[in-house]
């Protein structure tokens, strides 16, 4: 009986690139770096809104002190104006006898003073919310939201002063009586409030140097205006 031939065993060819019998390297998953933490800086806190203002009496006292101070500024403006005119005469710019032009009443000087007084208040309050009278009475001008007095706020509150001052200040007095923040019409237009210096929000307080510069610059604006009006009248 014929026997079938046994099939020959075929060996599998070794995988190229790896020696026979070598162990397969373990697969390690890539380590993920921790996500960077993003820190967001909180915005600067805004000053707290003003909830109350100072009344008519203390503000009237500050205004009277400012009126006395502005009178002294007018005196020194006349003194400096006279010195300046004398220098112009000595240099031959103007002729002698200019003193006669300064005699008598002049509407130009009146209008100049009406412009110079609010100019003093506007500059000093815009820079540091202060004036000489407010400094003595410990008052400051700030915006309703607690921020320092702005250019617009100082402008409109001083522009409105002449309206508030009608009938010896009765218009402003009545306006302050109806306002929870004791605002006269000028304050309402400029969105300003007069507060005690101790109640000014921390971020809106001015340094001593800042206060001095504010009054000095406001005074300089006032005097320049008056000296210019005096010189123009003498020419």
pLDDT along the chain (235 residues), means of 10: 54 53 54 52 62 94 97 94 92 87 86 94 97 97 96 96 93 95 96 96 93 97 95 88
Please give the pLDDT value at position 41: 42
- 214 within 8 A of 130, measured Cβ to Cβ: yes
Taking a C-beta distance cutoff of 8 angstroms, is the pair 185, 163 a contact? yes
DSSP β-bridge partners for residue 140: 195
Say how far apart CA 227 and CA 221 lie, in whole Å. 10
Contact 191, 144 (CB under 8 A): yes
pLDDT at 154: 97
Task: Tell me what pLDDT residue 90 has.
Answer: 92
Long-range contacts of 84-91 (CB under 8 A, 24+ apart): 84/227, 84/231, 85/230, 85/231, 85/234, 88/231
Sequence-distant contacts of 72-75: CB under 8 A, at least 24 apart: 73/120, 73/219, 73/222, 73/223, 73/226, 74/113, 74/226
Residue 9's pLDDT is: 57
Beta strand residue intervals within 86-148, DSSP E: 139-143
Residue 20: the pLDDT is: 56
- Output the CA–CA distances (angstroms, integers) from residue 168 to 43, 105, 121, 193, 200, in the order listed: 46, 24, 19, 21, 29
């Amino acid at each position: 009986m014929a026997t079938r031939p046994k099939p020959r065993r075929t060996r599998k060819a070794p995988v190229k690139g790896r020696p026979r019998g070598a162990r397969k390297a373990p697969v390690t998953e890539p380590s993920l770096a921790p996500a960077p933490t993003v820190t967001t800086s909180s915005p600067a806190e805004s000053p707290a809104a003003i909830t109350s203002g100072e009344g008519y009496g203390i503000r009237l006292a500050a205004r009277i002190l400012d009126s006395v101070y502005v009178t002294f500024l007018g005196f020194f403006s006349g003194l400096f104006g006279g010195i300046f005119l004398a220098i112009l005469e000595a240099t031959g710019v103007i002729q002698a006898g200019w003193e006669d032009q300064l005699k008598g009443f002049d509407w130009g000087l009146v209008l100049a003073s009406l412009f110079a007084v609010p100019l003093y208040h506007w500059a000093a309050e815009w820079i540091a919310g202060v004036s000489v009278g407010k400094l003595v009475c410990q008052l400051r001008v700030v915006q309703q939201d607690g921020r320092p007095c702005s250019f617009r706020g100082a402008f409109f509150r001083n522009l409105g002063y002449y309206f508030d001052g009608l009938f010896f200040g009765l218009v402003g007095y009545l306006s302050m009586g109806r306002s929870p923040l004791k605002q006269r019409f000028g304050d309402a237009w400029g969105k300003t409030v007069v507060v005690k210096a101790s109640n000014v929000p921390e971020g809106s307080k001015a340094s001593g140097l800042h206060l001095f510069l504010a009054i000095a610059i406001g005074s300089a604006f006032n005097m320049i205006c008056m000296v210019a009006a005096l010189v123009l009248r003498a020419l």
